[in-house]
Amino acid sequence: MAIVNNVAKRKLREGDIALGFGLHHLRSSAAPMLAGAAQHDYLFMDMEHGAFTVQEATQICIASLAAGIAPIVRVCAGAIDEATRLLDNGALGIVVPHVDTRRQAQRIADAFHYPPMGHRSWGGPPPIYSYMAPHVSEAQKAINDEVLTVVMIESPEGVKNADDIASVDGIDVLLIGSFDLTSELGIPGQMGHQKLIDAVQAVGDQGHAGSRSTGKNGVTLVPGRQHRNRSGARPAGLPTDCGRYVPFRHQGQI
């Protein structure tokens, strides 16, 4: 039986760049069509700071599946129950902010994956199978392979524990939340500050060592800085010249 593929996750696995754009204000099922027209791989819906309801987010997720766009939703910190409902209703990826420890990362990985990878509950025929009843054991394995699990590193504690976080099976991407991290470092909004550069380099190194993809959120290009990628990953996916990246990148929001 056909299953919708997570294009963004597959690109990351192949070492390619996964591109998407953020949804913050636009709450329309036209959004996936716009993403497709712009040749993006995913939508990034922000339920942490945006005004999306679960109903609105899931309807955009379902429309995204039909458009071949991977719907990825950022929930509030610790909102595991909300995240699993989104996964049951069309989301192909979840972004969890403010992850500081391996224990937090393990709880997230367990909740988002079916056994034996985790402990996610089976809720019946899902949108990813067009609501047709699949063979449960085969479907659970297939869905585990398609779900993109992203944790955000946004504090000095998270940076320090990046190696342990990256070691958790089922965590696919370490996403640096640059604005919150600069605030926690006492340099709010200073994207060219050496403290941020060092933190990004540390997370990039640990993610690379753990075979995890990494990316940055909330970063704009720093004027006058030469933008290059010292790790050899494609420079088009990097907003600054530090860190090891298989880029997970979204730009702009509507």
Return the sign of the alpha-carbon dihedral for residues 252, 48, 213, 12.
Answer: negative
pLDDT tens-digit map of 177-206: 999 999 999 999 999 999 999 999 999 887
Residue with the larger pLDDT of the pair 211 and 52: 52
Give the mean pLDDT of the chain.
84
User: How many Cβ atoms sit within 10 Å of the Cβ of residue 123?
Assistant: 11
* Arithmetic mean of pLDDT, 81-96: 97
Query: Residue 217 pairs with which residues in a beta bridge?
Result: 177
Cα-flanking dihedrals φ and ψ of residue 219, to 5°? -105, 135
Percent of residues, the chain, with pLDDT higher than 70: 81
Which uninterrupted H or E stretch holds 94? strand 93-96
What is 29-88 written as a DSSP string? TTHHHHHHHTT-SEEEEETTTS---HHHHHHHHHHHHHHT-EEEEE--TT-HHHHHHHHH
Q: Please give, one letter per residue, the 3-state secondary structure of 196-245.
A: HHHHHHHHHHHHHHCCCEEEEECCCCCCCCCCCCCCCCCHHHCCCCCCCC
Categorize the per-residue pLDDT at 246 as very low, low, confident or very high, splitting at 50, 70 and 90. very low
Contact present, 41 and 7 (Cβ < 8 Å): yes
Residue with the larger pLDDT of the pair 95 and 250: 95
pLDDT tens-digit map of 110-150: 999 999 999 999 998 999 999 998 999 999 999 999 999 99
pLDDT tens-digit map of 19-55: 888 888 888 889 999 999 999 999 999 999 998 999 9
Q: Classify residue 128 by its DSSP letter.
A: G
* Arithmetic mean of pLDDT, 57-83: 96
> Could you tell me the domains of the chain?
7-253 (3.20.20.60)
Task: Look at residue 73 and tell me whether its pLDDT is greater than 90.
Answer: yes
Give pTM, 2 decimals: 0.86
pLDDT value for 148: 96
Question: And the tokens for 218?
Answer: 């909330």
pLDDT value for 12: 87
d(CA 73, CA 180): 18
Task: Look at residue 234 and tell me whether its pLDDT is greater than 90.
Answer: no
Task: Look at residue 242 and tell me whether its pLDDT is greater than 50.
Answer: no
Which uninterrupted H or E stretch holds 22? strand 18-23
